[in-house]
Amino acid sequence: MQGKKIILGITGSIAAYKAAYLIRAFVKKGAEVQVVITPAGKEFITPLTLSTLSRNPVISEFFSNRDGTWNSHVDLGLWADAMIVAPATAATIGKMANGIADNMLVTTYLSCKAPVFIAPAMDLDMYNHHTTQSNLDKLRMFGNHIIEPGSGFLASGLDGKGRMAEPDDIVAVMEDFFNEKKDLLNKKVLITAGPTYEKIDPVRFIGNYSTGKMGYALAEVCARRGADVTVINGPVIIGGLHNSVHRIDVESADEMYDECVEQFSSCDIAILCAAVADYKPQQQATEKIKRELNEEMTLTLVKNKDIAAELGRMKQEHQKLIGFALETSNGEANAKEKLLRKNLDMIVLNSLDEEGSGFSYDTNKVTIIDKEGIKTAIPLKTKVEIAEDIIDYIVKM
């Protein structure tokens, strides 16, 4: 961490005392630390302590004096190599997730170009509440790094998950990040994500349960590892992508096909993670089909264009093409057949046979199969961890 510039955001939590240890650890490792603290944070630890340890004035307000000078959150965001919010309360996490820029810390976060790490600290019920978990999921999808809290005795007297991670553990996470290999540097990666919607009429469609979470996780990992990433994005309802990723929004399989064909020639790696509809209605009604006028409705479906097969046909020597498969029976046999038939270099077989895997979950369980038929089973993990495993395998290829 020698020479790294770090913004340390401190919020109103009893765990604020740990920030003193965190500053000292960063400084000992050669980093420069600028503290930004919320007004509530100053009730738990004094700016004098923090400025003494960091050797920099502590920033809390937009306007420090009444002489027209002010603290620029934009300049701070450009200055930093990383930002860490520790401790991060439920209130600050909610503001960060939803862009509520009512204090210097959140405006600095919104202006920060560098990686952001968040170390939650709160009581176990607050941490487990679906609102807090939803906000943390949103922050993850924005490309932030969540440093999971520990379990143990809490300030409330209860025992459970919610203790801010220990300073040494936080420093280790950030050191690992700065030392992380950029093994996709200068590589162009194309990823498809989410479902496609095939219109029946202006208000109805044929679709599937894909949420785009796996594709977004792959995009985040590729971006962190140095790649220039483009995501061709079906209609999804989850939060945003990593801020460096180029996003192309589509709705139908035909639109996704056209974008993939146009983008593929300039890519080194294409990962086809989207759940593209195999069929579409032969005809699309221009007006809503009225139930009162039809006792029955028959749809004639026709095949959509095969994106994987077309990219497999186009693939050049230097390119790698990775597909996904989801089967309900004979999974491995069907996945191997798809890999060969579509000229893929690797296929990822999704599982539906375990709680926590498949559509909509934040976790997944997959099997990677390569062209030589070698299988690598990956147990249930978060989709970001699964994405790391998949990218590791691609890099080895």
Give the containing element (helix H, strand E) for 300.
none
Backbone φ and ψ of 222, nearest 5°: -60, -40
Alpha carbon distance 77, 68 (integer Å): 21
Whole-angstrom Cα distance, residue 388 to residue 77? 27
* Active-site annotation holder among 103, 135, 179, 208: 208
Q: Examine the residue annotation and report whether 71 is marked as an active-site residue of this protein.
A: no
- Interatomic CA distance for residues 286 and 210, integer angstroms: 26
E strand or H helix at 1: none
Cis status of the peptide bond prior to 202, with omega within 30 of 0: no
Sorted by sequence, the CB contacts under 8 Å of residue 397 that are 6+ apart come out as: 320, 345, 346, 370
| Contact partners, residue 239, CB within 8 Å, separation at least 6 | 137, 138, 141, 142
According to the 3-state scheme, what is the secondary structure of 65-112? CCCCCCCCHHHHHHHCCEEEEEEECHHHHHHHHHCCCCCHHHHHHHHC
Which of the residues are catalytic?
Answer: 208
